[in-house]
Structure 1
Amino acid sequence: MSEHFNTVVIGGGQAGLAMGYHLARLKRPFVILDEHAKSGDSWRTHWDSLRLFTPARYDALPGSRFPAPPWSFPSREEFADYLGSYAEEFGLPVQRNVRVTSLSHNGQAFVIDAEGHHFEADSVVVASGWDRKPRVPAFAEQLSPAIRQLTAGSYKNPNGLAPGPVLVVGAGNSGADIALELASNRKTYLSGRHPGEIPWRVDAVAARPLTLAVFFAFSHILTLGTPAGRKARPRVLSHSGPLVRVKNRDLVRAGVVRVPRTEGVKGGLPILADGRTLEVANVIWCTGFTPDLDWMDLPVMGADGRPVQDRGVAATQPGLYFLGATFQQSLASSMVHGVGRDAAFIANRIAAAEAPDVVRPAGSAAPQ
């Protein structure tokens, strides 16, 4: 027996909850499917010491504020708890412990199977996270079996590493965070191109006007609608956004050794772009992620393995939408404070397709 909904949102993290908020605001019938037991549990799978790299004032979903001092950096537990409270505050219809295993279309409706559950929907929003499948180079398999290999997704704390030096590959925000933690008790190398950084402490009182201007640029200047945004997007997609909280000087002071790009393996050891090999006991791949969408049986994927979409609207499958992609609309799209605007855009598209007379401009009355 199947349940039918106007809209099914797949994923109950920050993207799925923001989507639910805007669908409720427009009074559209929907359900959110969350594979976890509690809203926010996906964040509890990250490494133990994780803190968001954006201040709390930028960590709230639409219609609420984050319950912490605005210039503090929430921990993973604080953010996970916030997501749970958010779902309760707005009474969002979340079905938990529902893991979607397939998505298809039967010519009349979308068909969603989820380990004993069966749903049909007129429209589907895939908001299940774009950081699901670690992107690890093929040559990683050639490393010596004696080297312990982890990813940014599987690393939890220093206790999970083998004794000895560690090479962190990937110098973005995650790599910088992990390298900084590890440098306190072991030789730590950080490999990769420096992605740039906001050169001041974003929480410093004197610098707050500059910080506000930078985050405004992330949302409103570096977008698909501006030349600057279109120029920046390929670089962000292929590398990383700038360091926000951790600075290069923090890494230097902690004793992190910056090394060039890791390009292969020689004698079982990682080899750098300058020809050096590093004798390390651990390698942590912080080289990004790709979407895990193998469960979709729909003709929507491009040659790069990503869905072909425009601002989250699938190009070849009417009624299908994606939310939470890096630079979906702006540099802020994959950040907590940016997902709400993208969700509002998609919610209005869904409402327009179903009942044009009920569409309201973004920012109107919140759900009751």
Structure 2
Amino acid sequence: MAQHYDVVVVGGGQAGLAAGRQLALDGRELVVLDAAARVGDAWRQRWRSLRLFTPAAVDALPGMTFPAPRNHRPTKDEMADYLEAYAQAFALPVLSGCAVDKMTRADTGFALTVDGERFTADHVVVATGPLRAPRVPAFAAGLDPGVHQLHSADYVEPAQLPAGPVLVVGAGNSGGDIAMDLAPYHPVWLAGRATGRVPGWLDASCYQVLPHVRTDRGVGRAVARRLAGRGTPLVGIGRADLVRAGIRRVPRVTGVRAGRPLLADGRELAVRTVVWCTGYRPGLGWLDLPGEVPGLHFVGMQFQNTLASGIIGGAGTDAATVVAAMRRD
């Protein structure tokens, strides 16, 4: 027999937990289905040296401050532990190890299947975020089999790569961070369009403005369009930092020639490893629904409502927006 809830939240990361707390405050009977074995694992499983690019003061969810100095940039494990503590502090009903295989319409609203088990709900909040399915260009298949390839989702530390030159493809925050992590151990090229730079000295007060800048009008809309087209600016890493680390900046990769990465300027690079920092797709193939459906809501997607949507500091605002919309369903 199916387990029925007023609301099922799919995803137990920061967006899902923020939504869960807001729904609980609203008196909703809910469950949070999380594919990870443990709350926070999406952060724990990222590369070892990763730090958030936002300061601790804006890395908290509603109702619980982040336990670190205001302008400290948390490590991935600190963020993971915070999320786990948050779920425990508010007794959020998270079911871990529950990856949704399929969701369809049902007489009761929605039906979700998890490893043969069925859940039904009047409302569903999809909080899996924009970083679900790693994206790699199709031409990557043409690289010589001797070139080791991996996506940033699978990168852990320099020691996992074979000896030799590394090409990091994608010059956003992930690409910049991974290139800097690799530079002491490998010759490194960093390929991609310049995305701009946010100075590392910006403190928390600057980031606290973002949840108040809507993306459906004025400056917020213009900034969101620009960032969507060019990528997120590097935070704290500048050209001088790359030069000091011995990292060589090269144009974007446009294809493959003779089994080697081909740059926009016509050069081929002889490398041993390519790390694809080329982003993700939302990975919503499990949704078997006919387009927009009443009762279905999303939270945590990039620029969904404000310039902070998609990052931790915007999760609370977006969750409140979703719950308000749910009251109107």
Matches within 5 A, 1:282-321: 282-300=273-291, 316-321=292-297
- In the alignment, what sits opposite 2:302? 326
- Does the CA-based 8 Å contact 1:237-1:326 persist in structure 2? no
2:198 is paired with a residue whose SS is coil
- Does the CA-based 8 Å contact 2:147-2:273 persist in structure 1? yes
How many angstroms apart in 2 are the aligned matches of 1:284 and 1:188? 10
How many angstroms apart in 1 are the aligned matches of 2:131 and 2:180? 21
- In the alignment, what sits opposite 2:147? 147
- In the alignment, what sits opposite 1:276? 267
Deviation digits for residues 126-185 of structure 1 (CA, Å, limit 9, x no counterpart): 112321111111111101111111111011111121210101110111111000010111
- In the alignment, what sits opposite 1:194? 194
For 1:116, give the aligned amino acid: G
Deviation at 1:106, TM superposition (A): 2.2
How many angstroms apart in 2 are the aligned matches of 1:142 and 1:81? 40
How many angstroms apart in 2 are the aligned matches of 1:142 and 1:99? 33
- In the alignment, what sits opposite 1:212? 205
Normalized against structure 2, the TM-score is what? 0.96
For 1:190, give the aligned amino acid: L
How many angstroms apart in 2 are the aligned matches of 1:200 and 1:114? 43
How many percent identity over aligned positions?
47
How many angstroms apart in 2 are the aligned matches of 1:50 and 1:168? 16
How many angstroms apart in 1 are the aligned matches of 2:222 and 2:149? 34
2:24 is paired with a residue whose SS is helix
- Does the CA-based 8 Å contact 2:58-2:208 persist in structure 1? no
Deviation digits for residues 215-247 of structure 1 (CA, Å, limit 9, x no counterpart): 2443333x3233222222233223322112333
1:339 is paired with a residue whose SS is helix
For 1:229, give the aligned amino acid: G
- Does the CA-based 8 Å contact 1:26-1:351 persist in structure 2? no
- In the alignment, what sits opposite 2:109? 109
Deviation at 1:44, TM superposition (A): 1.4
1:153 is paired with a residue whose SS is helix
Backbone CA RMSD of aligned residues = 1.4
Normalized against structure 1, the TM-score is what? 0.86
- In the alignment, what sits opposite 2:83? 83
Matches within 5 A, 1:91-170: 91-170=91-170
**Bigger shift: 231-240 or 19-28?**
231-240
How many angstroms apart in 2 are the aligned matches of 1:124 and 1:118? 14
1:23 equivalent to 2:23? Answer yes
- Does the CA-based 8 Å contact 2:18-2:319 persist in structure 1? yes
**Unaligned residue ranges in structure 2 (runs of 5+):** none
Task: Give aligned pairs, total.
Answer: 329
**Bigger shift: 273-282 or 34-43?**
34-43
How many angstroms apart in 2 are the aligned matches of 1:348 and 1:256? 48
How many angstroms apart in 2 are the aligned matches of 1:238 and 1:138? 20
Question: Which 4+ runs in 1 deviate beyond 4 A?
Answer: none
